[in-house]
Amino acid sequence: MGVIFCGVDYRWLGEVKNAMNNEKCCDLSVLDLVPFGQTGAESIFYALRLSAPNWPAWQPGQFVMVRPHSFGYEIPWARPLGICHMTTQHLICFFQVLGRGTKRLSQLRPGEQVAVWGPLGNGFAIEKDRPTLLLAGGMGIVPFVGYVHRHPQPWNVSMVFGHRAAVDCYPVDSINERIPLDSLRETVPGDLDNLIFTLQERIHDCADQDGLVLACGPRPFLRTVHRFAISFGARAQLSLENQMACGVGACLGCVTKTSDKWADKRHKDGFVQVCTKGPVFWADQIQF
Ligand SMILES: Cc1cc2nc3c(=O)[nH]c(=O)nc-3n(C[C@H](O)[C@H](O)[C@H](O)COP(=O)(O)OP(=O)(O)OC[C@H]3O[C@@H](n4cnc5c(N)ncnc54)[C@H](O)[C@@H]3O)c2cc1C
Ligand code: FES
């Protein structure tokens, strides 16, 4: 069978096909698509509610690959989205329009079909008796919606949320009703210094109490959290949002570099797939 084309090895497409054939891949119907913040053509933030996939279990921090049938031949690869919340009635994802894939997602209509595979990757640790500090940057808030609802002792959990758009563009309400949330909006350059200072202080405090720090957000945000977590010896997990194509460990498009603390000897100081070994990693086990 011809698997090399124009010098590129396409054998990994078989892995994607296997994953898509198993019970984790399904076609779901769009129930609704709700804009957040600005409405109409201006909106770039959406909650997408899909019919329930009937997966037996999921953990906050896991994600799904979504590929609307309307992508057709124009957009070959699915896009990864965090699981915001899932019940027996529906699966909710929340996304920001960045490029053509998410633009197309924002044009979905009720009843349209979307191929979805998941729940993929690992989830965040839950340590119910310890203080837990959630650090979210922008769309990094998504997995924490499920996290705060799943946490058995939410009074031990608090959040710092750094963001650029107005706070009502994000799914903060369902978090705010369960835990204290400090929202720090960045509109002028000085706001970024304030966010970095706040991250430093809160990670330091959490490390002093032997708490757990959990972070999700864009790479510069995670780099800052990583730096403070390592320097204060905080126990921290970071969820990486590397670009992905297959989501099932086959294409190697999403790899990240491990440190010498990585448990598997074969990959110490080497690269591992974010989609299958993560997306959540202990801070001391990866390099930025
Ligand atoms: C595990 C995981 C969970 C995610 N969860 C969410 C979520 O819940 N909500 C959400 O809105 N987004 C989430 N993302 C990011 C989302 O997948 C990307 O924004 C999306 O794939 C962009 O597709 P696009 O076709 O619109 O943009 P593209 O046309 O592919 O790219 C547009 C621009 O965005 C950049 N870009 C693409 N992907 C990423 C990325 N992962 N991180 C940073 N920049 C990127 C590209 O370099 C380019 O500049 C997640 C990513 C991962 C890996
Ligand atoms: S996205 Fe293909 S290996 Fe991770």
CATH of the domain at 50: 2.40.30.10
Is 269 a member of any domain?
Answer: yes
Which among 86, 120, 154 is the end of a domain? 120
Q: Same structural domain for residues 136 and 115?
A: no
Domain count, the chain: 2
Is 14 a member of any domain?
Answer: yes
Q: Give the residue, by CA position, lying nearest to ligand 1 atom 42.
A: 241
Q: Same structural domain for residues 17 and 96?
A: yes
Cα–Cα distance, 7 to 191 (Å, whole number) = 48
pLDDT at 149 > cutoff 70: yes
Q: Nearest 10 degrees: CA dihedral of 135, 141, 143, 147?
A: 60
Is 265 a member of any domain?
Answer: yes
The pLDDT score that the predictor gives to residue 18 is 62
Which residues constitute the domain of residue 182? 132-285
Cα–Cα distance, 228 to 238 (Å, whole number) = 12
Atom of ligand 1 nearest to the CA of 102: 26
pLDDT tens, residue by residue, 20-43: 555 588 999 999 999 998 766 678
pLDDT at 2 > cutoff 50: no
Q: Same structural domain for residues 246 and 142?
A: yes
Atom of ligand 2 nearest to the CA of 246: 2
Q: How far apart are the first and last CA of the chain?
A: 39
The CB of 26 under 6 Å from ligand 2? The reply is no
Q: Same structural domain for residues 279 and 137?
A: yes
Closest of 225, 187, 186, 184 to residue 207, by C-alpha = 225
Q: Same structural domain for residues 89 and 17?
A: yes
The pLDDT score that the predictor gives to residue 267 is 85
Could you say which ligand is closest to the alpha carbon of residue 63?
A: 1
pLDDT at 47 > cutoff 80: yes
* C-beta atoms surrounding 270 within 10 Å: 12
Helices within 56-188 (DSSP H only)? 100-105, 142-150, 173-176
Q: How far is the CA of 272 from the centre of ligand 2 (A)?
A: 10
Closest of 36, 99, 43 to residue 71, by C-alpha = 99
Show the beta-strand stretches assigned E in the chain. Answer: 4-5, 8-9, 25-36, 45-51, 63-68, 79-82, 85-86, 90-96, 113-120, 132-137, 157-163, 181-185, 212-216, 235-239, 256-257, 271-272, 280-282
Could you say which ligand is closest to the alpha carbon of residue 77?
A: 1
**Whether the predicted model's global pTM rises above the 0.85 cut:** yes
The CB of 251 under 6 Å from ligand 2? The reply is yes
Atom of ligand 2 nearest to the CA of 12: 2
pLDDT at 184 > cutoff 90: yes
Angle between helices 189-208 and 219-232 (to 10 degrees): 40
Q: Same structural domain for residues 265 and 185?
A: yes
Q: Same structural domain for residues 48 and 151?
A: no
Is 125 a member of any domain?
Answer: no
Q: Give the residue, by CA position, lying nearest to ligand 1 atom 45.
A: 243
The CB of 234 under 6 Å from ligand 1? The reply is no
Taking residues 164-170, report their average pLDDT.
95
The pLDDT score that the predictor gives to residue 277 is 96
- pLDDT grade, residue 265 (50/70/90)? confident
